[in-house]
Amino acid sequence: MAGASFWSQFELRQLRCFVAAAEELHFGRAAARMNMTQPPLSRQIQLLEHVMGVKLLDRTSRAVKLTPAGRVFLLEARRILRLTESAALATRRIASGEAGTITLGFTAASGYSFLPMLLLQRASHAPNIDVALKEMVSTDQAESLLTGRIDVGLLRPPIARTEFTTLKVSEERLVAALPVGDPRLVQATLTLKDFDHQPLVMYAAEGARYFHDMLTGLFEAAGAAPIPIQSLSQIHSMLALVRAGIGAALVPEAAQSLHFDDVHFRPVETDPIAPVELFAAWRSDNDNPALEAFLDLLRPESIEDLEALAAEEH
């Protein structure tokens, strides 16, 4: 095998021996620090000098000195060894879930209320977990969960995949968005009957299937029938139409944070009092170590925490 001279690469053990010898300037003490005897340490350093092709230590039987090249190499060796330690540390932190990156899918509507609270919670309870955000509709989230493009999705039911574990993370009431001057604004609270035969900006069946189906069901159960004016999927677009006086809209209460001028909100009584549900879903076999720590943020006790925290903000 002629590869010997070709394989000119040192090993970390040799670096550790060299650093010990360079710092002690005494092979015996250096060997003791390395928990070995002096002869092997001598050999490790000879080997290192051989593969480097450079004399690193000037040794007489009376004194050990660094050569100029050895001085430079000592600095480099220390840097390398420091780096190996920090690399091991960082990797173990990732593996333990202490740190890491979670890729999170979320729907536009959840970005108004739940997501900000969640990120606030993360900043204080899991600061080493990075969260990469990807806005997408619920069906795309399910697809992305399967392929691994996102670790966790914040999405609307139904979620019918056996590969997923799910957790309800929030329930919201519906509120009515009404333009300034709408006569229904005199009431403190509305019912679905108040929208019977009235123009209503509606959700699109494709882009916002969940809200579309939910409202359809609610109105049917309540025996009321609004006049659908326009079908949209983005809540802020719907509010813009409301502001233009085209009609009312029914939106999750968190949408009030959008603060459109000349658009006012009133609570609406519905059969389940908080019909707007948001679920977290993730692949049961997801091996991202940061997942467990991230999911802790979603557990009920954490949710209460963060809702209390959000309340204090006001």
Partner DNA sequence: TCACGCCCATGCAAAACCCGCATCGGTCGA
Partner DNA sequence: TCGACCGATGCGGGTTTTGCATGGGCGTGA
Binding stretches for its own copies (CB under 8 A): 3, 9-13, 16, 35, 52-56, 58, 67-69, 72-73, 76-77, 79-80, 83-84, 86-88, 90-92, 94-95, 100-101, 287-290
From the list DNA, its own copies, none, pick the one residue 9 interacts with, judged by a Cβ distance below 5 to 8 Å according to partner type.
Answer: its own copies
Q: How is residue 218 written in tokens?
A: 């609610």
Helix (H) or strand (E) holding 95: helix 68-96
**27 is an interface residue for DNA by CB under 7 A:** yes
Tell me how far apart the alpha carbons of residues 171 and 74 are, in angstroms, rounded to a whole number.
61
The b-or-e profile of 94-106 (16+ CB within 10 A means b, else e) is beebebbebbbbb
Tell me how far apart the alpha carbons of residues 236 and 120 are, in angstroms, rounded to a whole number.
23
**32 is an interface residue for DNA by CB under 7 A:** no
Nearest to its own copies of 67, 231 (CB atom):
67
Q: How buried is residue 174: exposed, middle or buried, by Cβ count under 10 Å (0-12/13-18/19+)?
A: buried
Give the binding range for DNA (CB under 7 A) out of 60-68, 112-120, 150-158, 172-180. 60-68
Nearest to DNA of 56, 177 (CB atom):
56
Residues recorded for the chain: 314
Rounded to a whole number of angstroms, the minimum distance from the CB of residue 88 to its own copies is 6
Rounded to a whole number of angstroms, the minimum distance from the CB of residue 68 to its own copies is 5
From the list DNA, its own copies, none, pick the one residue 59 interacts with, judged by a Cβ distance below 5 to 8 Å according to partner type.
Answer: DNA
Nearest to DNA of 2, 188 (CB atom):
2
List the helix and strand counts (H, then E) for the chain.
10, 13
Q: Which residues pair with 227 in a beta bridge?
A: 199
- Residue 160 DSSP label: -
Give the binding range for DNA (CB under 7 A) out of 54-62, 145-153, 173-181, 256-264. 54-62
What does each C-alpha distance from 275 to 62, 175, 296 come to in angstroms? 86, 11, 25
The only residue of 32, 33, 42, 161 in contact with DNA, by rule CB under 7 A: 42
Nearest to its own copies of 80, 246 (CB atom):
80
Query: In the block, which residue shows the tokens 């006790």?
Result: 301
Query: In the block, which residue shows the tokens 């679920």?
Result: 279
Nearest to its own copies of 53, 223 (CB atom):
53
From the list its own copies, DNA, none, pick the one residue 38 interacts with, judged by a Cβ distance below 5 to 8 Å according to partner type.
Answer: DNA
Rounded to a whole number of angstroms, the minimum distance from the CB of residue 147 to its own copies is 13
The only residue of 43, 50, 168, 299 in contact with DNA, by rule CB under 7 A: 43
Tell me how far apart the alpha carbons of residues 61 and 183 are, in angstroms, rounded to a whole number.
103
Q: Where does this chain bind DNA (CB under 7 A)? A: 1, 4, 11, 13, 25-28, 35-40, 42-47, 59-62, 64
